[in-house]
Amino acid sequence: MRAFLLFALAGLIAQLVDGSLGMAYGVTSTSVLLAAGTAPAVASASVHLAEVGTTLVSGASHWRFGNVDWRVVGILAVPGAIGAVLGAYVLVNMTEDAEPYMAGILLLLGLYVLLRFSSRAVARRVVSGPRPGGKFLGPLGLVAGFLDASGGGGWGPVATSSLLASGRLEPRKVVGSVDTSEFVVALAASIGFLFTLSQEGIDYLVVLALMIGGMIAAPFAAYLVRLLPARVLGTAAGGLIVVTNTRTLLKGFDVPSSILTPVLIVLAVAWVAAVVVAVRSARRELAERAEHADGTTPEDESADAPSAQA
């Protein structure tokens, strides 16, 4: 019972992060299973089976709060499902670990997103250009789905970070659309694993615990993403990608913990500082919008100041 509650707690925390930032349920849950000694293919299969339930509730919650662009979901989900089936097959038959190389690409995307949203000059125009179309979403879904199934997580980091980096869809719609389309991807990956992997190693009690924890957290996460300003959400997502994939990359190259730990601490402190700056900037921008809505601008206030003194 204790193990069940621990895995349920892991699923709850993972879904709070995933549902509010559009990534990290798979990365977090798979990390917990691997730490418990689960084989990589079994860990990925277990997480994706759990995600069938969590993503269904998460997608419904995001739809309820108006965070979903259904055109994006439709174009992204189908190639994502195809990629997930291929990724499940490759992981079951994989002989070498390509995780460090994937982490390097995600790290670069995370840095771009973090800089884009934490910078005041860039973040003023978060959404620019038309909504992303099939030429962008199709290949993105295929690659993200493949990496998600073969790496035990990656749909959110790849799809969310790429859509945020494109700047063509507001962050809350990015998170909601990616989370909603992930239901189809998780279902396809689960089917792929069930056909290619021996089911004897899958602990369905662990799957149920991860699923229940995630389903409880999903509605709260969907509401949270609606409240967060675009700048704060983008900064938090970018920092999460950077910290997570720096750890994966350094561990993949067997960097000793005496170096790995200080590096992660420095990155975590920098991430928190960036989020604090983003929150303060967002508050300042809200105040400026309120002033403009009242018909008062900083220039007007400076022009009125001398006459008031007179």
The answer to whether 72 and 177 are in contact (CB under 8 A) is: yes
Residue 296 — φ and ψ, nearest 5°?
A: -115, 130
d(CA 146, CA 227): 32
d(CA 20, CA 172): 8
- What's the CA dihedral at 50, 51, 57, 63 to 10 degrees? 180
User: How confident is the model at residue 96, as a pLDDT?
Assistant: 61
User: How confident is the model at residue 102, as a pLDDT?
Assistant: 55
For residue 10, pLDDT beyond 60: yes
For residue 81, pLDDT beyond 90: yes
For residue 307, pLDDT beyond 80: no
Q: Residue 108's closest CA among 163, 148, 165?
A: 165
Would you tell me how many other CB atoms lie within 10 Å of the CB of residue 252?
17
Q: Where do we find the tokens 């190693």?
A: 201
Least confident piece of the model among 94-108, 162-176, 189-203 = 94-108
DSSP code, position 94: -
d(CA 27, CA 152): 7
**pLDDT (tens digit per residue) in 158-176:** 888 788 777 778 878 888 8
For residue 77, pLDDT beyond 90: yes
Q: Measured at the alpha carbon of residue 189, what is the angle toward residues 100 and 172, in degrees to the nearest 5?
A: 75
Residue type, 115: L
Contacts of 62 (CB under 8 A, 6+ apart): 19, 68, 175, 176, 177, 179, 180, 222, 225
d(CA 233, CA 228): 6
For residue 288, pLDDT beyond 80: no
User: How confident is the model at residue 188, as a pLDDT?
Assistant: 93
- Assigned token pair, 81: 């499902």
CA-based end-to-end distance of the chain: 76
d(CA 172, CA 256): 38
**pLDDT (tens digit per residue) in 112-143:** 767 766 765 444 445 556 777 788 899 999 99
d(CA 132, CA 263): 36
- Assigned token pair, 208: 């149920």
DSSP code, position 169: S
Burial of 293 (0-12, 13-18, 19+ CB in 10 A): exposed
The answer to whether 231 and 117 are in contact (CB under 8 A) is: yes
Q: Residue 251's closest CA among 243, 260, 242?
A: 260
DSSP code, position 4: H
Helices (H), 152-256: 155-166, 171-196, 204-227, 230-252
d(CA 303, CA 298): 9
DSSP code, position 111: H
